[in-house]
Amino acid sequence: MVDIKGIIAPIITPMNADESVNYDELRVQIDRLIGHGVHGIFVFGTNGEGYILSEDEKCEIMKTTVEQVAGRIPVYASTGTNSTLDTIRLSQKAKDIGVDVLSIITPGFAAASQDELYTHFKTVAERVDLPIVLYNIPARTGNAIAPATVGKLSTIDNIVGVKDSSGNFDNILQYIEHTRAQEGFAVLSGNDSLILWTLLAGGTGGVAGCSNVYPFTMAQIYEQFLAGDIAASRQYQDSIRSFRDCFKFGNPNTIVKYAVAELGFPVGKCRAPFNQLSDQGFEALRRVIADNQSHGMK
């Protein structure tokens, strides 16, 4: 079993001008993130545009990532779909490819009861012998995993953690409270602003979109916390505020990809139609990146 901890980078999926996946640049980004200290690579999550990639592309991205990471840190893959059977099929492919951990998002669009969500996750866990991290992002899927449901699921051997991207810190606290009896169960923040506070509350880290732009800074939130220097950890946590303020100009993963491109990496844009940023937003983003660079953020 893998320790689910630290700063896990939901790596962007680099694209060529024709919107095909740029696998060579994906390898570059993997090495860049690992070189700056992230603790896991998470492929085709929200920041990796998993919502718009084909299954064949996802399999090739997993193969490329597993090969490039080469065991240095764990590889996570977002294999959840709206169908239980499709989720099982993609998850089994991920296992065959060599992924270390699965992230299973709640099914979306159609409303799901807590009993339906429980049965969905339980069935996948029984059919795929890999560690599973549940993924709660109700703003995107329309379905939220209740803390009591997470507590029930935490008793299943290979359901080993949950990532919460609700933005509601009390929800994270309740996840921790409902899973405390399960030794080693990991609660991760999916909101980059809440990583330190999640750690202080008993969580184990975060899946941090900002780590695509500032991998060292994000990794240090965890490393300084681990070293017992809470003041330093908070300085790193606070330093991403100006960048996150740019999210008001558009879709956050679009902003993140624009920012990585602004740093000089040929990662392309997000796939259409989710790839536009206003002139006002782009200029604000450029100012923030330049200011952060002048302060040594990386």
- For the chain, what is the largest distance between any 2 Cα atoms, rounded to a whole number of angstroms? 51
| Residues facing residue 43 across a β-bridge | 77
Amino acid at 160: V
The answer to whether 175 is a known catalytic residue is no
Residues in the chain: 298
The residue from 163, 222, 257, 258 that is catalytic is 163
The answer to whether 51 is a known catalytic residue is no
Which contacts qualify for 238-242: CB closer than 8 Å, 24 or more apart?
Answer: 239/214, 239/292, 239/295, 239/297, 240/192, 240/193, 240/210, 240/214, 241/193, 242/288, 242/291, 242/292
Q: List the one residue out of 203, 284, 280 whose CA is nearest residue 243.
A: 284
The residue from 76, 135, 175, 214 that is catalytic is 135
Please provide residue 207's backbone torsions phi and psi, each rounded to the nearest 5 degrees. -100, 105
Spatial separation of the C-alpha atoms in residues 255 and 144, rounded to whole Å: 25
Active site residues: 135, 163
